[in-house]
Homo-oligomer: A and B are copies of this chain.
Amino acid sequence: MAEERSSTQNTGALKASRRGFLQAAGATAVGSALGYSVPLGGDLVPGALAQEGKAADFLGSKDIDALIKHSGKTYETHRSRIGTSVVTSNDVFYVRANLPEPDASIVADRDAWELSIEGVKNPGKMTLGDLKKLGVHTVAAVLQCSGNGRGFFAHETSGSQWRVGAAGCAIWSGVPLKTVVEAMGGAVDGAKFITGTGGEELPKELDPKKAMVERSVPIDALDNALLAWEMNGEGVPLAHGGPLRLVHPGFYGVNNVKYLKKVALTEKESEAKIQQTSYRVRPVGVKGAPDQPSMWEMSVKSWVTNPVKTSSGKVQITGVAFGGTKPVSKVEVSTDGGKTWKEAKFVGPDLGQFAWRPFVLETELSSGKHMLASRATDADGDTQPEDFPPNHRGYGHNGWKAHAVEVTVA
């Protein structure tokens, strides 16, 4: 494997020294001593998980060799394992859990799972079996953690130090939430949000509002929201929220509530901590508050996925690009850290505005080091910025420079 490390142009001294430390120690897990639950240098030790052998039940059929472990329930896909097949296999799909998952028995009899539907004229409960009678719709959509790219910020951030792999593109099947709402008489007057509640068991010692996963998004999302029971042709795996997940195409991962036990059309946003103060974008050092922007729609983003190992000559530089809620219209690739750019070609079928598009630039590379960068533009003409301003929790990074990757050509 060619040397892969992120651009250091805009990563500060702290991170540089931590990376150096990890490399020097050959460390795969440093942990709490540095205040991180994670090895920063995940990308630097590909395959380190393989030695752990068979994945835990929660991970199901995951290919742990394709994953960077941030914690026992938190795994990132290696940059080099993202591929060009449009979809991300469930076996290599990243995992992020806010709470311990429910017992696996809930995916043994999927159709028995119960969902409460509230904020409609005729509220009530439906089983997944009932939902399947109402309609079928299939959409390809990128799922991405709000903190994907957090590891590229220069400032100190808590949370998993994701680099590029807390994202994947999946094909989801289920029933449109709109169809269910209409079947129950339509929305109550004054509804302004869709509020989804996860079915995890809450730790008894905690205030439910502090622990529960309950997220609200603006009601406009009803046009695309899906109650999904299938992910890439399988029942949604337990690690991904099966048997039933709320999918908001184009919205950050946290809004796509797992183990969905209640969905409500509400006048106000959820009072849960995860809505009120978490997942809020604010300056470094400032506490989260409800008047700050919430991590809802994703912005345009791309990255190179194959830090090529090669000798000099012709090479295919590949990556993925997406526009959040908008189609991605263009991707440019640079092999000199952003001094010059060439337009890349999209690869494979277009799965719609919420999917990502693999891209490729065929070019030649001479011997030596090259900094590979990509820069995507969405259908509204918005282009990834060179840098992305720091924010307290390290959310939403889409600066192209930090996502660049250096390769050494023999």
Contacts and interface: CB of A to CB of B under 8 A. Distances in A.
A91 interface: yes
Contacts of A231: 85
A86 interface: yes
Contacts of A90: 89, 91
A85 B318 contact: no
Nearest to A111: B309
A147 B75 CA distance: 40
Contact of A351 (B132, B309, B318, B351): B351
A328 to B, nearest CB: 15
Nearest to A361: B136
A232 interface: yes
A91 B350 CA distance: 24
A188 to B, nearest CB: 24
Given A83-B173, A347-B138, A316 B133 contact: yes
A360 B89 contact: no
Contacts of A213: none
Given A90-B91, A349-B140, A349-B349, A314 B134 contact: yes
Contacts of A85: 138, 171-173, 230-234
Interface in A148-202: 171-173
A83 B230 contact: yes
A207 B334 CA distance: 54
A218 to B, nearest CB: 25
A87 B138 contact: no
A348 B171 contact: yes
Given A92-B233, A139-B348, A87 B171 contact: yes
A138 B358 CA distance: 9
A89 B133 contact: no
A310 interface: yes
Given A85-B172, A310-B133, A349-B349, A91 B138 contact: no
Number of chain A interface residues as a range: 35 or more
A267 interface: no
Contacts of A84: 136, 138, 173, 230
A140 B61 CA distance: 23
A315 interface: yes
A316 B128 CA distance: 13
Contacts of A171: 85-87, 348-349
A352 interface: yes
A92 B358 CA distance: 24
Nearest to A137: B347
A88 interface: yes
A358 B232 CA distance: 13
Contacts of A348: 137-140, 171, 173
Question: What are the nearest 5 A-B pairs in CB distance?
Answer: A138-B348, A61-B61, A89-B233, A85-B233, A84-B173
27 contacts: A60-B61, A83-B230, A83-B234, A84-B136, A84-B173, A85-B171, A85-B173, A85-B230, A85-B231, A85-B233, A86-B171, A86-B233, A87-B87, A88-B233, A89-B232, A89-B234, A92-B234, A111-B309, A129-B310, A132-B316, A133-B315, A135-B362, A136-B347, A137-B348, A140-B349, A349-B349, A351-B351
Given A92-B234, A111-B309, 13 more contacts: A61-B61, A84-B138, A85-B231, A86-B140, A87-B171, A89-B232, A91-B234, A133-B313, A136-B318, A136-B347, A136-B360, A137-B348, A173-B348
